Amino acid sequence: MRLVLLKTIQKILVKKKSVWNRISEVIRHNIPLSLIIGAALLLELTSAVLYYSAQNIIHNTVDRLVEREMNALFLCIRNQLAKVEVTVDNMSWVVSDGLDEPEWMFSITHRLVENNPAVLGATVTFIPNYFPKIGRLYEPYSVRRADGSIETMQLSSEEHDYTQMEFFTAPIAKNGGHWCEPYFDNKGAREMVTTYGVPVRDNKGKIVAVVDADIALDWLEEVVEEGKLYKATQRFVVTGKGHLLAGKDNAMFHKALQQVRADVDSTGYVAIEDEQGEKYHMFYHPVGGHTNWILINILNDNEVFSKLSIIRRTLLLPVLAGLILMGFIVWRSSRNLERLRKANAEKERIGSELHVASQIQQSMLPPSHLQHDDVNIYGSLVPAREVGGDLYDFYIRDEKLFFCIGDVSGKGAPAAMVMSVIHSLFRAFSAHENNPAHIMQSVNEVSCEGNDACIFVTFFIGVLDLPTGRLRYCDAGHDAPIILKDGKLSNVDALPHIPVGLFDDVKYGVQETQLEPDSTLFLYTDGLTEAKDIKHKLYGLERIQKTLAANSQLQPQQLLEAVTASVHAFVGEAQQSDDLTMLVIHYTPKRYESTLTETLVLKNDVHEVAKFSIFIKSVLEKMNVEKSLARRLRLAIEEAVVNVIDYAYPAGQTGEVEVRVMSDGETMKTVITDSGVAFDPTAKEKADTSLSAEDRQIGGLGILLVRELMDTINYERIDGQNVLTLIKKLKG
């Protein structure tokens, strides 16, 4: 497998080198061609710079011209409105002086219309029952008709109750001048008007009436249509409530109205598009004064930049010529890269066909929390996508904690598929193997088979002997775990082996360290160190260490949550870019308090078994073990001792086997120690009892019996000795 992979990589590198060598050779031996390429690139760049520079200059010029144009319109409208406002304000004082002469009000309204051409109609509306002799409502009104004559009348009636209309209620409510929304006056002016009203007070300061002046809107239409910078310019004057005062009621008006309503300040510039996608430039500004009117000016982008578009089309021809020439050269060069492109496309096709569901991935992970007499474990995996390529696992077998953490290269479904395979391989090989290097070796060999995509895994495997705290581990290119003890941090000394899945002949070595009681082991993937904020700064190892040091006294779940909160605070609004996996193991070994300890030393001679039988029978009687259970225990322990006597020392070599039996009243603990060759009886495959005696392989029944009779069985090689520990609960 490795040879095929190396040959494939070598072919790709040779092809890449060959392509670039050929391109370099073409440039060296074809100077004119190189100059043409350079000229085409320079022409394209120059055209782009000139176009965008000219566009920016025109845009700035248009901004200034539109600003001047809108200022002129603004002043024109304001001057016209100001005349009306000043006239009505002054007339309110005249009305206040003649409140005791109701008939004189007709003369006031007549004079207001006669002396002010901008005013179409004028009225004084009094509060109800102000003149009780006249009636509940009193509204003297004068209006200029189309022939120039001025008609005066008492306008109010039961059908025309001005007390419910804006031109009466709004000035009183505002206690000042107010321009009404446009409306059709079917009683007085008999056309579309807008009205400006001012409240009138008596000598006690009480509001008793409102002086109103109506103006037609046709003059406003003429103003907005005059002096346009461009022929296609569209102008509108709208009220704050969205009523159109001047301009055409079309789709562009409603588009502009949406923008104005969305802008609290009702001032500014924005680029908009119509239904056909044509671009327009919209400028808008409030008219001000007592009005809530807004002036809108819309320019067509094509009209503004029409001359520039002609220049652009003219420049486009040489640019296209340069691009065509460059495309021809690139096409010639790309022919040599076609095979490589097809190979990559095939690899992507295979990768895209791999699929895995998030439920399957999560179901393969162990429960996030495990509380045991000797360890407290908490793990977390947060994928960057729906599924990810990180993994972790842990379980306890034979008084040993088997755990791992890994990170598959890449993301998404392909990485998740590989993660599932690696997880299954770890479980399968660690079920009957205690050496993490051997487990890693087996996982790597299988992972390399058929790995055409060259997906690799950084992987860390640990085996913690719970009674002794002896931690054996193997690291395949993964970040080294961190040990926390009494507030101090230290990194596990891990050799940088090659990641899993690259080469099937890699030799992995086992390392060992001692984990002190109340120590915490923190494992993580590079999704933690490489977490990025919005400025692409990395979270980094230093921040991890500071967070761990500040929270070292916490239990695993709280410690993991503290690190997670620190990462989230650092990342902020930035999107998660990689899977984030953490595993925390707190080692709290339960001390075995023995109330009875008996020791026997045997020679590696089968005749010593009789001596052992007497010894174990005596010990079990001292422990007051029930007879039926005592028989089974003697059988199991005797099988284990005989197994050690038979296999611990080479044939012809004399050695000793020490048997120590202890009890704390609740459990019985038997430790069998020898100085022979390394031999792990727990690693021997179980005998298949379903087969007949003729088909069954020799051996395996003894250790099967021990496993079935004992609660736990644990083997360790310590200081050149084989140590086999058997534990059985005597109560419960």
Flag whether 236 is in a domain: yes
The span from the CA of 209 to the CA of 130, in Å, is 9
Please state whether beta strands 580-587 and 656-663 pair in parallel, antiparallel, or not at all (unpaired). Answer: unpaired
Instruction: From 159, 138, 263, select the one nearest 208 (Cα to Cα).
Output: 138
- Residue range 340-362, pLDDT digits in tens: 667 676 666 654 554 455 666 67
* Residue finishing a domain among 587, 609, 644: 587
User: At 555, which CATH number?
Assistant: 3.60.40.10
pLDDT at residue 511 is higher than 80: yes
Provide the percentage of residues in the chain whose pLDDT is more than 90.
Answer: 26
Tell me the three-class secondary structure of 461-524, residue by residue. EEEEECCCCEEEEEEECCCCCEEEECCEEEECCCCCCCCECCCCCCCCCCEEEECCCCEEEEEE
Q: Are residues 129 and 222 in the same domain?
A: yes
Residue 384 has a pLDDT of 79
306-334 and 31-97 helices, crossing angle to 10°: 150
Given its phi and psi angles, is residue 409 left (phi above 0), alpha (psi -120 to 50 degrees) or beta?
beta
Q: Are residues 602 and 582 in the same domain?
A: no
* Residue finishing a domain among 587, 622, 652: 587
Detail the DSSP E strand segments found in 624-681: 656-663, 667-674
Range(s) of the domain holding residue 480: 365-587
Q: Are residues 82 and 209 in the same domain?
A: yes
- Residue range 141-191, pLDDT digits in tens: 999 988 888 989 888 887 888 888 888 998 999 898 898 888 888 888 888
The span from the CA of 74 to the CA of 81, in Å, is 11
Q: Are residues 70 and 212 in the same domain?
A: yes
Q: How confident is the model at residue 435 (pLDDT cuts 50, 70, 90)?
A: very high
Q: Are residues 157 and 212 in the same domain?
A: yes
The span from the CA of 682 to the CA of 699, in Å, is 12
The span from the CA of 235 to the CA of 490, in Å, is 73
Per-residue tokens: 35: 């100059």
pLDDT at residue 313 is higher than 70: no
Q: Which amino acid is at 95?
A: V
Per mean pLDDT, which range of 36-50, 205-219, 321-335, 678-692 is the poorest? 678-692
CA geometry: angle 191, 111, 153, nearest 5 deg:
55
510 against 280, higher pLDDT: 510
The span from the CA of 452 to the CA of 681, in Å, is 38
Per-residue tokens: 573: 């609004």
Q: What is each CA distance from 307 to 274, 496, 504, in whole angstroms? A: 22, 66, 68
The span from the CA of 87 to the CA of 472, in Å, is 98
Q: Are residues 119 and 205 in the same domain?
A: yes
Q: Are residues 715 and 619 in the same domain?
A: yes
Most confident of 91-100, 344-353, 385-394, 468-477: 468-477
pTM: 0.49
Flag whether 616 is in a domain: yes
Detail the DSSP E strand segments found in 47-146: 121-126, 140-144
Flag whether 626 is in a domain: yes
Q: Are residues 519 and 563 in the same domain?
A: yes
Per mean pLDDT, which range of 17-31, 75-89, 100-114, 192-206 is the poorest? 17-31
Q: Are residues 583 and 601 in the same domain?
A: no
Q: Are residues 325 and 408 in the same domain?
A: no
Per mean pLDDT, which range of 259-268, 328-337, 433-442 is the poorest? 328-337
Average pLDDT, the chain: 82
Q: List, in sequence order, the alpha helices (H) in 151-199.
A: 166-174
Q: Are residues 157 and 225 in the same domain?
A: yes
Flag whether 492 is in a domain: yes
Flag whether 359 is in a domain: no
pLDDT at residue 695 is higher than 50: no
Flag whether 22 is in a domain: no
* Residue finishing a domain among 587, 620, 648: 587
pLDDT at residue 387 is higher than 80: no
- Residue range 679-693, pLDDT digits in tens: 887 766 554 444 443
pLDDT at residue 243 is higher than 70: yes
Total number of domains constituting the chain = 3
Q: How confident is the model at residue 673 (pLDDT cuts 50, 70, 90)?
A: very high
| HSE-CB of 624 using CA atoms within 13 angstroms | 4
Q: What value does the mean pLDDT take over residues 83-111?
A: 87
Q: Are residues 609 and 575 in the same domain?
A: no
The span from the CA of 323 to the CA of 44, in Å, is 8
Detail the DSSP E strand segments found in 77-117: none
Q: Which amino acid is at 596?
A: L
Q: What value does the mean pLDDT take over residues 233-240?
A: 83
- Residue range 36-82, pLDDT digits in tens: 666 666 766 766 676 667 667 766 766 676 777 777 777 778 888 88
Flag whether 469 is in a domain: yes
Q: What value does the mean pLDDT take over residues 275-300?
A: 81
User: At 300, which CATH number?
Assistant: 3.30.450.20
Q: How confident is the model at residue 485 (pLDDT cuts 50, 70, 90)?
A: very high
Q: How confident is the model at residue 307 (pLDDT cuts 50, 70, 90)?
A: low
Residue 183 has a pLDDT of 85
Flag whether 11 is in a domain: no
Residue 687 has a pLDDT of 45
pLDDT at residue 253 is higher than 70: yes
User: At 689, which CATH number?
Assistant: 3.30.565.10
Q: How confident is the model at residue 34 (pLDDT cuts 50, 70, 90)?
A: low
Q: How many CB atoms lie within 10 A of CB 440?
A: 26
Q: List, in sequence order, the alpha helices (H) in 201-305.
A: 218-225, 251-262, 301-304
The radius of gyration of the chain from alpha carbons, rounded to an integer in Å, stands at: 47
> From the centroid of its chain, how far is CA 340?
34
